[in-house]
Structure 1
Amino acid sequence: MPQPLPSAAQPQARLYYGWLVVAAGFAVTFVGFGCAYSFSAFIEALQHDFDATRGSVSLVFALAGFLYFGFGMISGPLADRWGARRLAVLGMLLTAAGLAAAGMAQSLTQVYLAYGLGVGLGVGCAYVPAMGTVQRWFVRRRGFASGLAVSGIGVGTLVMPPLVSLLIPLMGWRGAYLVLAAIAVVVGAGMSLLIEDSPQQRGLQPDGDAAPESAASDAHFPQPAPAAHRAATARPADATGATIRDALRSRPFIALYAAGLFSSFGLFVPFVHLVPYAQDHGIAQPVAVLLMGAIGVGSTAGRFFLGGVADRLGRRPALLAMLMGMALALLIWLASTSMWALLIFALLFGLFYGGYVALLPALVMDEFGGRNISGLIGILYTSVAFGNLIGPSAAGYAYDLTHSYAVPILASAACNLLAVLILARLSRRGP
């Protein structure tokens, strides 16, 4: 009488598990960056309650951004060693704790500590491990999958600022922070439990491809695994690629790092100052907050569609085009004073920003392989951390001095153009 096949030989489920890992990455970015980028909706209330300048309030966001990009240098290698799931869950819980503590702060200094440490370290703990893991599950559709995962940033930017704008009149800015904390626990930490480090840990192949015939045969007649093999498979199975030391000394990594550094000086200025800029030009706060939603719409489109286009046309030239697009969009902002003009800027900036963020992790995987992917992404994001620390707060203090955003916007566009020139050297290299 024929015996049923072992479970390892049963047909695979139609849904490739990699897409659940992508969904978990989407949730991490939705919660982490949605909460972070809703900060512009809190600026007016924080200025009023703590009698603070725009520059000092902007420093809250800058400190958090410095930590959540800079901490990736630590969380990335830890994820390569210990697994991404536990880092992502811990990060979302830290984010929730920081938001709740910010809602109970009695001074701006306490907001610095609560929001900066909680949200900064929380997002930093979860983001890089989640994005690094997504890269291992895909090869042919890596750009699309990476774009889909980070499209949570765009959707979070679309949803969270208008939500906060509705919550603040109902329950005050403190109550709004508590609601965001609850979302971080339920959505962020809950979905992070779906993360797994590599397809091989589930007996799968990247992109859902069938396992090699020899591997399938071995599944029917498994042999006891040597201790060394068991230790090796406890970590992500994609061990090909550059060491961290070799990658850091390579020209491609240096070019990517320098381009990321200069670009990020202007990259985050709109996320803090676009709403106050619109209010300065007579646009009411509830309407001005919709501009952040427009950045989210453009960003979602950029992450969702441009990642797939780059898979076909080449990820290096596509990343170059994203930086150029952000520079041109910032120049449009300089000339915009009406709601419609600012809406056009927000959509275009979001589109190119979304494409840039979607392509960067995939390009790191292309260049250096998966052996230390989370660690390399984390180190690369320290460049963004320094730009985030300096850019938004410098723009706020420049406004306090000149009562104009002209200089910060021009400087932001110039920094993106400089990043284009730097990255163009990488694009001229061979494969």
Structure 2
Amino acid sequence: AGAWVMYMLNQAAFTWGFTIFVNPLADEFGWSRTSITIAWALSLTWGLLLGPWFGRFFDRHGAKPVMAIGGLLGGLGWVLLPTVESYWTFLACMVLLVGAGINGAMGPSIGSAAIAQWFKLRRSLALGLYFTGSGGAGLVLIPLMGALTESHGWRASATALGLTAFLLTAIVSPFMRHRPEQHGLKPDGDAAPGPAIAKPRLWDFAARLPLPRHRPGLERDFTLAQALRHWPFWLFTVAIFLRYFGMGITQVHQVPHMLSQGVGTPIATAVLSVSLIVNIPSRIAVGWLGDIYDKRWLLNLLAIAGGLALLALAWAGPERVGLVWVYAVLWGVGLAMLPLQAAWMADSYGRKHYGSINALSNSFALFGRVVGALGAAVAYDLFAGYTAIMLLGAAGFGVGALLLMALPAPNPMPGR
């Protein structure tokens, strides 16, 4: 529950919430979208560079100190942001504070590592529940941020966001725990399946789909050096990079794109919230299915949904405004890939060094968001539109799916 709350804050305070501030910043300061996106990209990049260090720190000390650092730095960045009067002070707050805190210490690599320590048999489902935090952000925090920005301006919204970060960090971080073995427990509570026959359930048909099954193996703990010499690690990372390229386009520019296409601010904010709300049951369902079926096949089905979503958003226009709702639903389904990604990494490389291995992979893969966001900003400033870059993002989902099909099943450790 604690990791879920902090992930919800991460999603509202940067990943999906930042798009609300793009137009107000451009209107007040006269900054181009490229300039604003550069600040966003540098903030994310700084967090990704710090990610492996925070991952190693997590492996040694657990989630409690890491999340406390993240909440304090990120909250301070958002509280100070309304005081800026120049681009350089804006950049300092976004990069040094929000980047280190929200994107580095509170990034999904740390939260998913905390979850992966406590689950093995139901790891994918547990991660699916954790990643519904983005839906919580879309249901609670982002609509409040949008309403506050509309009624009192972006400075009030940013201040409230920073204070919320302080409050949630103070409530959650003291209760975070590291590995179950440190508390006399084992993953999944060391519960063996009982002999009782379960009663038929309405959704049991989903466990009988004609897809390759997940075959759990023995726990294998790679070191970081061994993972880096394992070619599936890099193939998987590149495939996820291509998907994050498409995500980077929307995370900063989906609201500006909809506004430029004649969609009003309330509807644009609602579309963002709907996509994140749809994502809640999608991630739970996909997490449950990931403990039954081969995660690579499920990831490819979600890639189709993500690619179609970007096509719908790209083609939305004054006479096709309804396509934004198609985008909202398909994008909410396509974003359900995150629990499968994190679970595949834990299944393949074990729990002992998961924090550092997953953080390094994410640091490379998440750079796709930087490339996508900057590419979209440049495309808008050059061509006054986002359509071409969104079509390119849809293609990235397709190529990523092909790479995932080439992944082998989890292999034994190198040299064994």
- State the TM-score, normalizing by the size of structure 2: 0.87
Q: Confirm or deny: 8 A CA contact 1:140 1:207 kept in the other structure.
A: yes
State how far apart, in whole Å, the 2-side matches of 1:146 and 1:287 are.
30
Percent identity, aligned pairs only, is: 27
State how far apart, in whole Å, the 2-side matches of 1:114 and 1:241 are.
38
Alignment of 1:49-88 (within 5 A): 49-88=28-67
Q: Confirm or deny: 8 A CA contact 1:147 1:358 kept in the other structure.
A: yes
Who is 1:246 aligned against?
A: 226
Which residue identity lines up with residue 29 of structure 1 in the other structure? Y
Which residue identity lines up with residue 264 of structure 2 in the other structure? A
State how far apart, in whole Å, the 2-side matches of 1:105 and 1:330 are.
34
1:197 CA displacement? 0.9
Match among 129, 138, 142 for residue 119 of structure 2:
138
Who is 2:261 aligned against?
A: 281
Which residue identity lines up with residue 380 of structure 2 in the other structure? Y
Match among 341, 352, 357 for residue 376 of structure 1:
357
1:116 CA displacement? 2.3
**Higher alpha-carbon Rg:** 1
Does residue 121 of the first structure (1) align with residue 100 of the second (2)? yes
Structure 2 unmatched runs, 5+: 193-217
Who is 2:405 aligned against?
A: 424
State how far apart, in whole Å, the 1-side matches of 2:48 and 2:11 are.
11
Who is 1:348 aligned against?
A: 330
Does residue 171 of the first structure (1) align with residue 152 of the second (2)? yes
State how far apart, in whole Å, the 2-side matches of 1:38 and 1:262 are.
22
Change in Cα spacing, 1:192 to 1:240, as seen in structure 2 (3 Å) is farther
Does residue 270 of the first structure (1) align with residue 270 of the second (2)? no
State how far apart, in whole Å, the 1-side matches of 2:408 and 2:39 are.
36
Alignment of 1:212-231 (within 5 A): none
Does residue 38 of the first structure (1) align with residue 17 of the second (2)? yes
Q: Confirm or deny: 8 A CA contact 2:124 2:291 kept in the other structure.
A: yes
Q: Confirm or deny: 8 A CA contact 1:395 1:408 kept in the other structure.
A: yes
Who is 1:299 aligned against?
A: 279
1:322 CA displacement? 2.1
Higher mean C-alpha displacement, 66-75 vs 93-102: 66-75
Q: Confirm or deny: 8 A CA contact 1:317 1:427 kept in the other structure.
A: no
What do you get for the CA RMSD once the two structures are aligned? 2.0
Q: SS at the partner of 1:289?
A: helix
Q: SS at the partner of 1:313?
A: coil
Residues 354-379 of structure 1: CA deviation (Å, up to 9, x unaligned): x2112111110000111200101100
Which residue identity lines up with residue 283 of structure 1 in the other structure? V
Q: Confirm or deny: 8 A CA contact 1:32 1:184 kept in the other structure.
A: no
1:429 CA displacement? 7.0
State how far apart, in whole Å, the 2-side matches of 1:397 and 1:189 are.
39
1:427 CA displacement? 4.9
Q: SS at the partner of 1:268?
A: helix
Q: Confirm or deny: 8 A CA contact 2:8 2:137 kept in the other structure.
A: yes
Does residue 187 of the first structure (1) align with residue 168 of the second (2)? yes
Q: Confirm or deny: 8 A CA contact 1:158 1:293 kept in the other structure.
A: yes
Q: Confirm or deny: 8 A CA contact 1:84 1:129 kept in the other structure.
A: yes
State how far apart, in whole Å, the 2-side matches of 1:32 and 1:52 are.
25
1:58 CA displacement? 2.0
Higher mean C-alpha displacement, 297-306 vs 243-252: 297-306
1:323 CA displacement? 2.4
Who is 2:197 aligned against?
A: none
Q: Confirm or deny: 8 A CA contact 1:158 1:292 kept in the other structure.
A: no
Q: Confirm or deny: 8 A CA contact 1:130 1:195 kept in the other structure.
A: no
1:159 CA displacement? 2.8
Q: Confirm or deny: 8 A CA contact 1:76 1:378 kept in the other structure.
A: yes
Structure 1 consecutive aligned stretches of length 4 or more whose deviation exceeds 6 Å = 428-431
- State the TM-score, normalizing by the size of structure 1: 0.84
Q: Confirm or deny: 8 A CA contact 2:235 2:407 kept in the other structure.
A: yes
Who is 2:302 aligned against?
A: 322
Q: SS at the partner of 2:291?
A: helix
Change in Cα spacing, 1:64 to 1:298, as seen in structure 2 (3 Å) is farther
Residues 215-256 of structure 1: CA deviation (Å, up to 9, x unaligned): xxxxxxxxxxxxxxxxxxxxxxx9951111111111220111
1:203 CA displacement? 0.9
1:140 CA displacement? 1.2
Q: SS at the partner of 1:346?
A: helix
Change in Cα spacing, 1:42 to 1:381, as seen in structure 2 (3 Å) is same
Structure 1 unmatched runs, 5+: 1-22, 212-237
> Across the two proteins, how many residue pairs are aligned to each other?
382
Q: Confirm or deny: 8 A CA contact 1:331 1:409 kept in the other structure.
A: yes
Does residue 335 of the first structure (1) align with residue 315 of the second (2)? yes
Residues 336-363 of structure 1: CA deviation (Å, up to 9, x unaligned): 224431011122112111x211211111
Which residue identity lines up with residue 4 of structure 2 in the other structure? F
Match among 174, 189, 200 for residue 181 of structure 2:
200
Q: Confirm or deny: 8 A CA contact 2:348 2:411 kept in the other structure.
A: no
Residues 61-115 of structure 1: CA deviation (Å, up to 9, x unaligned): 2222223344221111111012221011111111101111212111222222202
